[in-house]
Structure 1
Amino acid sequence: MNTLKIIKKEGYTIVQMNRGKVNAINYDMVQELRQVFRDIENDNAVKGAILTGQPHYFSAGLDLIELFHYDKKQIHDFFNVFGALFIELMQITKPVISAITGHSPAGGCVLAVATDNRFMADGEQYIIGLNEVAVNIQISQNLVETYAFWIGQGLASRYIMEGKLLNGKEALSAGLVDELVPLEQVLPKAEARMQQYLQADQEILLNTKNKLRKNLLSKLDLNAENSLKEAATLWWKPEIRTKMEAYVKSFSNKKKG
């Protein structure tokens, strides 16, 4: 694995995103996440998984600097596999917990809301949310439905339209995260919750997760080719490309500085 670190524990697996300082999501990371979670789902010895990041960053979202230079086929392929990853995470039968070790905007939040629990590092500097409108990326209907599942239709509507990023206290109040804990306790907290799941009768636990997600899954378009088709098309809109180019140049200059 080039972008992930896999830690196998008794009964569960920790999947740590491990791509640079901020865990920006590119094609390779998406494909590695898909493979790891398929393996977890198909391994009877693994009862659940914890998805986590590095100190201060769960994931900063899509790697816009890399994606900006993709050609049309590469962008189509990227959004196709990213949409597929989200659908696959939503359909996993086993419990998956996010240990959010810091910032989790946009694509980071996409991964987190597909999981069953979210424990986030406490700190005013850390943010989470869906700011796709603010960064000129088309949000999918699947993501709208899932965000609303956790925080309610009204808040989801307002926050998505605003491109609002929430600090930890706002995220906790909205129901987006389960609990705020000190950074060094985020992963141990997720592991403690996983131990609770491991103690449960596994057939009952999996049946219950299935029932809890049934209505939400019925609202999703499970065809990955369709889910982010608009995003791939609108990516090439000239005015969006101009804004994105300015962003990429600005961010690249900051990295050089």
Structure 2
Amino acid sequence: MNTLEIIHKENYSIVRMKRGKVNAINHEMVRELSIVFEEMEEASSIKGVILTGQPHYFSAGLDLIELIRYNEEEINDFFRAFGELYDQLLRFPKPFISAITGHSPAGGCVLAITSDNRYMAEGEKYRIGLNEVAVNIQISQGLIDAYAFWLGEGLANRYILEGKLLLGPEALAAGLVDDLVPLNEVLEIAENKMKQYLKADPEIWLATKKKLRKHWLEKTSIERGSLKEAAKLWWKPEIREKMEAYVKSFSNKKNTSK
């Protein structure tokens, strides 16, 4: 794996995203996450999975610097693969916890909201949320339903339309994360919760998770129409111009900080 590190514990595994400093999501990372979670779903020895990142970044979201260079076929393939990964993680039957080690906007939040619990690092600057509207990416109905599942429809609607990124205390108050803990304790807290879950009868636990998500899953399917819409809007000239300006400004900041 080029973008992931796998750490196997006694009866659960930790998947650490390790792609550069900020874990920006590209097609390779999407493919590798899909392969790993499929393997862990099938492996009887693995009873649960913790997804985590690197210090200060869970994932900064989609790698716009790379994606802006994709041709039409490549961007269609990416959005389809990312949508399928979201659906796969949402339906992952075993205990699944996100240990959020810092920033988690947009695509990073997409991954996190599929998990059963989210523990986030304390930090004055760390933010999490679905800010697709703010960065000119079409959000799918499935993601809106996911946000509403955790936040309630009122808050979800307001925050999505605003493209709002939440600071840790805001995310905790909204129900988007379960707790805020020191950065160096995030993974430990997630592991403690996993061990708690694994003490339960596995058949009962898995059946209960399925029941809790029943109505959410009934509303959610891989939305081919939404994915095509997102890919189509990707090429809209005024949106493309804004994205290219954003990528240029971001690249200039990176070069300046070197």
Say whether 1:125 aligns with 2:103: no
Partner Cα separation in structure 2 for residue 216 and residue 223 of structure 1: 13
Contact 1:14–1:50 (CA under 8 A) maintained in structure 2: yes
**Partner Cα distance (1:206, 1:41) in 2:** 12
Task: Give the SS at the match of 1:16.
Answer: strand
**Counterpart check, 1:156 vs 2:156:** yes
Task: Give the partner amino acid of 1:29.
Answer: M
The Cα of 1:224 is off from its aligned counterpart by: 5.3
Q: CA deviation at 1:227?
A: 4.4
Structure 2 letter corresponding to 1:102: G
197 and 227 in structure 1: CA distance in 2 versus 1, 3 angstrom threshold: farther
Kept in 1: contact 2:97–2:117 (CA 8 A): yes
Query: Which one-letter code corresponds to 2:163 in the other structure?
Result: G
What amino acid sits opposite 2:48 in the alignment?
A: G
Match of residue 223 from structure 1: 222
C-alpha distance in structure 1 between counterparts of 2:225 and 2:198, whole Å: 36
Post-superposition offset of 1:124? 1.4
Residue 145 of structure 1: aligned partner: 145
| Residue of structure 2 equivalent to 1:58 | 58
CA contact (8 A) 2:98 2:112 kept: yes
Structure 2 letter corresponding to 1:197 = Y
Within 1, Cα distance between the matches of 2:37 and 2:223? 16
Q: Is the 8 A contact 1:87 1:224 kept in 2?
A: no
CA contact (8 A) 1:100 1:118 kept: yes
Give the distance between the partners of 1:132 and 1:121, measured in 2 at CA. 22
Work out whether 1:189 is the aligned partner of 2:189. Answer: yes
Structure 1: which amino acid aligns with 2:232? Answer: T
Measure, in 2, the Cα distance between the counterparts of 1:10 and 1:226. 42
Partners of 1:110 and 1:203 in 2: CA distance: 27
Contact 1:142 1:227 in 2 (8 A): no
**Structure-to-structure mapping, 1:68-87, within 5 angstroms:** 68-87=68-87
Is 1:11 aligned with 2:11? Answer: yes
Amino acid at match of 2:248: K
Superposed CA RMSD in Å reads 0.7
Instruction: Give a deviation string over 1:205-230, Cα, whole Å, max 9, x none.
Output: 0000000000000011x235344221
Deviations 1:9-45 (A, max 9, x none): 1110100000000000000000000000000100011
Summarize deviations over 1:49-91 as a string: whole Å, max 9, x none: 0000000000000000100000000000000000000000011
Measure the CA separation in 2 of the matches of 1:254 and 1:118.
Answer: 30
Deviation of 1:119 (Å): 0.2
SS of equivalent to 1:239: helix
Q: Which amino acid aligns with 2:33?
A: L
Give the unaligned 5+ runs of structure 2: none
Q: Tell me the distance in 1 between the aligned counterparts of 2:178 and 2:249.
A: 35
Partner of 2:236: 237
Aligned to 1:168: 168
Q: SS of 2:133's equivalent? A: coil
Q: Structure 1 length normalisation: TM-score?
A: 0.98
Q: Is the 8 A contact 2:140 2:223 kept in 1?
A: no
Counterpart amino acid of 1:89?
L
Separation in 1 of the partners of 2:72 and 2:134?
Answer: 22
**% identity of equivalent residues:** 68
Q: Tell me what 1:116 maps to.
A: 116
Q: Given that residues 132 and 139 in structure 2 are in contact (C-alpha distance below 8 angstroms), is that contact kept between their aligned partners in structure 1? A: yes
* Residue of structure 2 equivalent to 1:254: 253
> Tell me, what secondary structure is at the counterpart of 2:110?
helix
Q: Are the equivalent residues in 1 in contact too, given 2:93–2:210 (CA < 8 A)?
A: yes
